[in-house]
């Protein structure tokens, strides 16, 4: 899960998946419908990050009760989904991106994922591999279905994956092999609702070091519109996700540093939202500037940047321009040029 922002992204996706799971029960008779309403409301509040631990507990209790009231709540995906909710309940409070963390002076809040939670998730993921091994061995055990040699090969594969996952160096390869194997097996003969839950559980154990930040010879200088509320949020996001503070320095477009760095004609051409001057001296604007920020954060954010680059640059810039045109209507004008931050973070801002 890495940083607080990455965990909040996963929690939002998990909350939406849970909403979809509870939705069919809203039309049932009481008490199933009433419990589904409470669970759906809890899933929505869990997704946006309000009182995460409390609503995670409500979700787990509701899920447990529904398993007795209606057997449809116990497909193969039920256990992995419950495991992920429990992992969020075990994690530190108020990660960046949650409602509980809004408006604090330290955007990241020093949030880090504890080792016990990571271990718990890997153990749970290994359990899914063992479950696949059990299903794969069914033809050999029961004497039906595919040839015993094939079923034994698949069984051996799923038993080997958690062994490889126990060693840090082989863990990324085990992750890739295990996910591919689970999805392929589920598509062929496994439980119908397994793939989505398996994929989401795999995303929860991704370690940021697997996709390191893009390296640079010096911190990137991010110029931002000090009169734009959205730009302030971009800065807070970058500060929160770059906890060591080695990737970026920040300065308002209205400040003396920007005027010194670029002549007036070039300042006009660069626009009034976000401009990134890389550690190597290149100047990036519009979507390229935002993708550079994601690259320098690493982890899921760099993967997202790679995915965006599969789209035409013109399309990305068009979306950027559309948001830029309406940003001041959607976000209130800040009171100051620089967003308010804790004392320890003020050294990241320049004139």
pLDDT in tens, 167-177: 888 999 999 98
14 burial via Cβ count (<10 Å: 0-12, 13-18, 19+): buried
Q: What is the pLDDT of residues 202-217, one digit of tens each?
A: 999 988 888 999 988 8
Write out the two tokens for 207: 């370690």
Q: Is the pLDDT of residue 52 over 90?
A: yes
Query: What does the domain layout of the chain look like in residue ranges?
Result: 1-111, 114-210, 220-348
| Position 43 confidence tier, pLDDT thresholds 50, 70, 90 | very high
Residue 46: CB partners within 8 Å, gap ≥ 6? 11, 14, 15, 18, 52, 55, 56, 59, 85, 88
Specify whether the CB–CB gap between 197 and 231 falls below 8 A. Answer: no
Averaged pLDDT, 36-61: 93
Mean pLDDT score of the chain, rounded to an integer? 86
Q: How far is CA 263 from CA 100, 251, 281, 283, in A?
A: 42, 16, 15, 13
Report whether the peptide linkage leading into residue 31 is cis, meaning its omega lies within 30 degrees of zero: yes
- Residue 314 confidence (pLDDT): 94
Query: In terms of DSSP H, where are the helices of the chain?
Result: 4-22, 32-48, 52-69, 78-90, 115-136, 138-142, 148-165, 171-188, 194-204, 229-241, 256-261, 264-270, 286-297, 299-308, 313-330
Average pLDDT over residues 150-160: 78
Q: What is the DSSP string of 201-266?
A: HHHHT--GGGSPPPP-SS-EEEEE-TT-HHHHHHHHHHHHH-TT--SEEEEETTSHHHHHHS-HHH
Contacts of 307 (CB under 8 A, 6+ apart): none
Q: Is 207 exposed, middle or buried (0-12, 13-18, 19+ CB in 10 A)?
A: middle
Q: Which residues pair with 221 in a beta bridge?
A: 249, 277
pLDDT digits (tens, 9 = 90+) for 237-261: 999 999 888 999 999 999 999 999 9
Q: What CA–CA distance (Å, rounded) separates 16 from 20?
A: 6
């Amino acid at each position: 899960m890495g940083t607080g922002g990455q965990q909040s992204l996963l929690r939002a996706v998990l909350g939406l998946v849970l909403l979809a799971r509870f939705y069919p029960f809203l039309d049932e008779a009481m008490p199933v419908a009433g419990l589904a309403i409470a669970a759906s409301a809890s899933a929505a509040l869990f997704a946006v990050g309000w009182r995460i631990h409390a609503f995670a507990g409500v979700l787990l209790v509701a899920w447990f009760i529904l398993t007795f009231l209606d057997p449809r709540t116990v497909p193969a995906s039920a256990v992995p989904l419950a495991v992920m909710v429990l992992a969020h309940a075990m994690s530190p409070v108020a990660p960046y991106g949650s409602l509980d963390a809004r408006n604090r002076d330290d955007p990241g809040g020093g949030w880090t994922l504890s080792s016990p939670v990571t271990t718990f998730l890997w153990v749970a993921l290994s359990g899914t591999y063992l479950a696949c091994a059990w299903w794969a061995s069914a033809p050999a055990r029961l004497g039906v279905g595919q040839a015993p040699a094939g079923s034994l090969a698949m069984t051996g594969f799923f038993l080997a994956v958690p062994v490889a996952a126990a060693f840090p160096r082989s863990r990324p390869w085990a992750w890739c092999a295990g996910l591919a194997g689970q999805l392929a097996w589920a598509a062929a003969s496994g439980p119908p609702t397994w793939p989505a839950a398996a994929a989401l559980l795999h995303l929860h154990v991704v370690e940021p070091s697997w996709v390191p930040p893009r390296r640079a010879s010096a911190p990137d200088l991010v110029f931002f519109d000090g009169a734009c509320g959205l730009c302030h949020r971009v800065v807070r996001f970058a500060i929160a996700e770059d906890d060591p503070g080695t990737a970026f320095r920040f300065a308002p477009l209205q400040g003396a540093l920007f005027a010194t760095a670029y002549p007036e004609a070039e300042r006009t051409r660069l626009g009034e939202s976000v401009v990134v001057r890389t550690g190597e001296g290149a100047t990036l604007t519009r979507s390229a500037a935002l993708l550079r920020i994601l690259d320098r954060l690493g982890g899921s954010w760099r993967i997202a940047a790679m995915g965006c680059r599969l789209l035409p640059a013109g399309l990305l810039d068009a979306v950027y321009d559309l948001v830029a045109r309406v940003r001041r209507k959607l976000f209130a004008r800040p009171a100051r040029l620089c967003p308010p931050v804790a004392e320890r973070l003020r050294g990241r801002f320049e004139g």
